Amino acid sequence: MKIYLNGQLVSKENAKISIFDHGLLYGDGVFEGIRSYDSLIFKMKEHIDRLYNSADAIKLVIPMTKTKMIAAVIKTLKANKLRDAYIRLVVTRGPGDLGLDPRKCSRPTVFIITDKIALYPKEFYEHGLELVIVSTNRNLVEALDPRIKSLNYLNNILAKNEAIEAGTEEAIMLTHEGYVAECTGDNIFIVKDGQVRTPPVDIGALDGITKNAVIDLCEETGLPFQETLMKKDDLYEADEVFLTGTAAEIVPVIKIDSRRIGNGKPGKMTLRLIELFRRLTKVDGVRY
């Protein structure tokens, strides 16, 4: 496996960064998870724009243009001879000292990993996923803007630990006011009375690329859609529930807190959106 690291392709064994890198010491950096399908990098522009917007938000200057970043991603994919891949693109503050001061970091670190990924077993896409609502709340928006896709994922990891202890693969996180925000790695949607609904980003949900693709699909195909505040009872009483994410794509949910959702099977609207999304992954992106 070849890794892109600061302008060079190196072997996995030689892909090393400084232990003084502030990405390691403090989670000071940003990242994107991207998918390629049959040599098409899905929603590449949107992912690159979000990466640079996240970097701008934390005053991190990425030491290359967007065009060169896209070229570096393609170069890494080709070096690993991957047509279908998961791409992890990371930019850290770079090596500094043991203090927090970002001015002590002379140059950001950029690395790109391309590999295979299977976030959930195939059976979950066919039969549905079980979730739990956990006690770990989503970060306050005033403390950490959810539009920043940063390397600091401790909040999500704490929630993930609760899911593991409950015997499930994923957890639903609420805001401190009790509204549904998102899962540890995915956005969440419900279907109720024929309408697709998802929480607004301004309460603490990531502005997901796949989430926005699903919203666009709803608008393009005439499926009723609304961004709205939801409490946990809205989840329990939903006709359908599904998750979206770059790695997850669209995965149906059949139980939440051991309560059956709808008829306990992947819903018709969820299955329709999965089909539409799979078509989209064949045409919307950058070919290499």
Instruction: Give the residue numbers annotated as catalytic, written as ranges.
Output: 149
Q: Which residues of 163-194 are buried (b: 16+ CB within 10 A; e: fewer)?
A: beebebbbbbbbbeeebbbbbbbbbbbbbbee
Amino acid at 238: A
Distance CA 223, CA 54 (A): 31
Cβ-based neighbours of 211, under 8 Å, separated by 6 or more: 187, 189, 198, 244
